[in-house]
Amino acid sequence: MNAMTKLVSALQGAGYGDRLLRDEPMALHTSFGVGGPADLFIRAEHIGELIEWLRLARAHEVPCIVLGGGTNVLVADAGIRGLVILNACQGHTIDEDGRVVAESGVSLRELARHTVAQGWEGLEWAVGIPGTIGGAVVGNAGAYGGYMADVVQEAQLLDADGQVRRVQRNDLGFGYRTSALKRVGAGEQRPIVLEAVMQLRPGDVQELAARAEQVTLQRQARTPRGACAGSMFKRTQNYPAGFLIEQAGLKGLQIGGAQISPQHANFFMNCGNASAQDVVRLIEIAQEQVWRDFQERLEPEIELIGAWPEAAVLEMASRGG
C-alpha cells in the first residue's frame, strides 16, 4: 500500500471519506482559471480540520498544499501531486477595542467591508482585494498606501513538525509584498497561517465608507475584468511594472489563450482557454523585453505551484531576481 492510499484510508477511517475528492480540476479553484487536477482535494471548514489533515498528510509523507482564495498562484497544467486542502475556515471576532481575530480562510475584502461598516479604521484599503487573510499575511498584501503589516499584531502558525505556535509581528519579517513566511527556502515546508490578530482604530463610519467607496471606484477604473491573478509583477525599485511592460510595447500581447491586458499591462488575463504554460511564456517575454530595454528585472508576485518541471521554476526565479 503506497503513501497516498494509506492517507486516503486514514481520512476515510476518520470519517472524511465523503468529503475527499480525486482528480479535482484546480482551474475551478483559482482566480486564473487554469491548472490541472489535484490527486486529492478536501475542503476544511474549521481550523481543527485543517490541523488534523495537515498532520495526517505529513505523517504519511504525502505532499500537501493549503489553498485559500486561489489568487496570486499559477497551478501547473499537470496539476498538483498529493493533497490540496481548500481553506474555508471563516471564523472571526472583533472586540470593543478593535482587536480582530480572524481565521486564515476569511475573505480579506469581506472582512474589510465588515470592519468599515462597524466603524473600525485600518482595513478600508482592502475592500477590493480578493484572497484570504492567510495569503494576505504571507504576501503582506497592500493597496493605496495600506498594508497588512500596518495592522497585524500576531499570527498563529502550524509548523512543518506539526506544532502550533504564536508569533509576534516582528517575527513575521514583513517587507514589500513579502514576509518571512514567503521567504522560506526552496525545499523547506512553509509554516501555515492558522489565524491572524489585527489591531484596528476607531473611525467615523461615514468617513470610512466614503474612503472605501473611493478605493472601490479607483480599483474598478484601473483593474481589468476577467480571470487573472491580480498584479503579475512587483514594482521595481524605480518604476511600476505595468509602466515598464507598456513602454516595452507588450500591452495586448497574446500567447495562446493568455493575454497581457490592453487596459493595464501588469495584469495577465485568461481569455477563456489559456494554459498555465501560455501564462509562463508571457511572463518570460515580459521579463526578457523589459530587461533588454530598461535593464530592470521584473519579479513575479505570483507563485508557481504544482507539478512544474524543476528547471522551469528555477528559470522563473532567476528571471525575477
Q: How does pLDDT run across 70-83, given as a tens digit for each residue? A: 988 999 999 999 99
In three-state secondary structure terms, 80 is strand
**Which residue in the list 43, 109, 177, 211 is annotated as catalytic?**
177
Neighbours of 129 (CB within 10 A): 24
* Position with higher pLDDT, 123 vs 218: 123
Neighbours of 310 (CB within 10 A): 8
Can you give the pLDDT at residue 281? 97
Beta bridge partners of 231: 267
Separation between Cα atoms, residue 3 and residue 63, nearest integer Å: 10
Within 13 Å of residue 104, how many CA atoms lie on the same side as its CB? 28
Beta bridge partners of 147: 142
Can you give the pLDDT at residue 221? 80
- Kindly list the domain boundaries of the chain, sorted by start residue: 3-87, 92-222, 241-320
Whole-number percent of the chain with pLDDT over 90:
81
Q: Residue 157 is inside which H or E element, if any?
A: strand 152-158
Q: How confident is the model at residue 132 (pLDDT cuts 50, 70, 90)?
A: very high
Can you give the pLDDT at residue 312? 58
Can you give the pLDDT at residue 314? 45
CATH assignment of 3-87? 3.30.43.10
Burial 252-267 (b: 16+ CB within 10 A, else e): ebebebbbbbebbbbb
Is 321's pLDDT higher than 70? Answer: no
Can you give the pLDDT at residue 198? 98
The domain defined by 241-320 folds into: 3.90.78
Average pLDDT over residues 250-279: 96
Can you give the pLDDT at residue 310? 67
1-54 pLDDT, tens digit each: 699 999 999 999 999 999 999 999 999 999 999 999 999 999 999 999 999 999
305 and 76 in contact (C-beta within 8 Å)?
Answer: yes
* Position with higher pLDDT, 320 vs 55: 55
102 and 194 in contact (C-beta within 8 Å)?
Answer: no
Residue 225 among the catalytic residues: no
State the chain's mean pLDDT as an integer: 92
90 and 181 in contact (C-beta within 8 Å)?
Answer: no
Residue in this structure with the C-alpha cell 493605496, named with its chain if needed: 144
Q: Which amino acid is at 119?
A: G
- Give, to the nearest 10 degrees, the angle between helix 3-13 and helix 47-59: 150
> Are the folds of 3-87 and 241-320 the same?
no
* Position with higher pLDDT, 170 vs 314: 170
**Which residue in the list 107, 179, 231, 275 is annotated as catalytic?**
231
* Position with higher pLDDT, 286 vs 309: 286
53-104 pLDDT, tens digit each: 999 999 999 999 999 989 889 999 999 999 999 999 999 999 999 999 999 9
Neighbours of 135 (CB within 10 A): 27
Residue 301 among the catalytic residues: yes
Q: What's the Rg (C-alpha) of the chain?
A: 20
User: Which CATH architecture best describes the domain 92-222?
Assistant: 2-Layer Sandwich (3.30)
Reported residue count of the chain is: 321
Q: How confident is the model at residue 196 (pLDDT cuts 50, 70, 90)?
A: very high
Average pLDDT over residues 235-253: 96
Is 148's pLDDT higher than 90? Answer: yes
Residue 31 among the catalytic residues: no
Is 316's pLDDT higher than 90? Answer: no
